[in-house]
Structure 1
């Protein structure tokens, strides 16, 4: 939520400036007028109390790890609706809050990484998908098969999928292991569905990535983006790495699965 990020930055900078101004000017004046102005202003008192907390939260959230909640079924069966995840914010470089401008390069996404990003057609939102195409790759999706550089991927049938909670509408779909180079993972497909959507071939340009959801017939991913089918590198927010809670609503009135707590994201 960009408004939260903006508010956090503004409050941190504002309280920090108040504390600095008090140290350089106001405290000296209070000392010079001891007995008259010896009480600390309320604004200074609150700023001194909240600035360290705000600063720590800002640093951790901007440069270390940020929490997100999965709102849709596009990454089933690996990420479920209601999963609360942590995203590594420095995997692909240190970026400034709000603008997301990279100022220290660290690494680049690898094929199979699950990434959080701002889609080019909805820059105020945060989405999550899996990187399947790297710069220079030829990506194809035909029938139910993903092709990388003209080579079809291998699939291993696991069986029928049984959904849970708000994802139970996927019950009956086919669960498979997709042998993505370097990162085998599970996917869901309705293999008996006629004329599946999202068919085509794409050449990934430099500085961009091709991303797809693991729920192949229920994911608005690179296959369907109209203006551009590719994710610009500068839109990356980080790499998802851990599920720390599963609860379909904020008060856990819906489905709650404690077995998912602490699960790594593959």
Structure 2
């Protein structure tokens, strides 16, 4: 009988699923959490200096904007302008699954898998729907007729004696359902001032709100909006 039970148990074993089952389950769990709750992102450029440094690792939460719209001053992560800007977006937008795979470690290096529409950007919300906003040649912001203080801005755009600057100005009203986002490093940020199809970020293109820096440890903690 013992021999028969051993044969039965051996016949019920599935080595493939014994090994890969837990791995696939954890991968699906990871994708689910990443899609719905929170995901980790890193800072690839200096557009948010000095507050966010290159290679900082952040947690981006995705629940807040399910119940309310973005607020001025919040730091948001959003889909690349190549996904929504009418002058840039590709004819066929990559699927969410493909973009999730592209952003996994190492997989994004596979030739042909990457797509600029799968990239994510991080900027600060400066104005919301209905706001009248002006951005000067130096990158200073006037909101609804009032110049706003921006202690997080580290580098203004350089302005010559003729008042000219390589940075573009804006004088616009933000439409409902959209926001205007700018980088804290006004001198070096590809943001709403420069997008060829328009200055505004549709709210539905926002991935989430950057709330916590977990690396490096000497700057570990909550992000201040």
Q: Same fold (TM over 0.5)?
A: yes
One of 148, 153, 177 as aligned partner of 1:187: 153
Tell me the alpha carbon deviations over residues 75-129 of structure 1, each in whole angstroms, 9 at most, x when there is no partner.
0111011101110121212xxxxxxxxxxxx221111110000133353210000
Q: 1:147 aligns with which of 142, 150, 155?
A: 142
Residue 108, structure 1, aligned to residue 66, structure 2: no
Structure 1 residue runs without a partner (length 5+): 1-33, 94-105, 155-177, 179-184, 247-257
1:242 aligns with 2:212: yes
Give the C-alpha shift of residue 239 in structure 1. Answer: 0.1
Task: Return the alpha-carbon distance in structure 2 between the equivalents of residues 55 and 35 of structure 1.
Answer: 31
Q: How many matched pairs? A: 181
Q: Is the 8 A contact 1:76 1:188 kept in 2?
A: yes
Q: What SS class does the counterpart of residue 117 from structure 1 fall into?
A: strand
Aligned residue runs from structure 1 range 74-93, under 5 A: 74-93=47-66
Give 1:26-37 correspondences, 5 Å limit: 35=8
What per-residue deviation string (whole Å, max 9, x for no partner) do you get for residues 171-214 of structure 1?
xxxxxxx1xxxxxx411234653222121211111111100000
The structure in which a higher percent of residues are strand is 1
What is the aligned partner in structure 2 of residue 221 from structure 1?
A: 191
Residue 135, structure 1, aligned to residue 129, structure 2: yes
**CA distance in structure 1 between the aligned counterparts of 2:187 and 2:41, rounded to whole angstroms:** 23
CA contact (8 A) 1:188 1:215 kept: yes
1:205 is the counterpart of 2:175: yes
Relative distance call for 1:36 and 1:90 in structure 2 (3 A) is closer
The Cα RMSD (Å) is 2.1
Structure 1 residues 125 and 191: CA distance shift in structure 2, 3 A: closer
Instruction: Write out per-residue CA displacement over residues 39-77 of structure 1, whole angstroms, 9 at most, x where no aligned residue.
Output: 422333234322442233123212221001101110011
- Normalising by structure 1, what TM-score? 0.62
| Distance in 2 between residues matched to 1:230 and 1:90, nearest whole Å | 22
SS at match of 1:211: strand
Aligned to 2:80: 119
Aligned to 2:19: 46
1:261 partnered with 2:220: yes
- Seen in structure 2, the aligned counterparts of structure 1 residues 191 and 108 have a Cα distance that, compared at 3 Å, is closer
- Three-state SS of the structure 2 residue aligned to 1:133 is strand
CA contact (8 A) 2:77 2:208 kept: yes
TM-score by length of structure 2 reads: 0.73
* Aligned-partner SS, 2:154: strand
CA contact (8 A) 2:137 2:168 kept: no
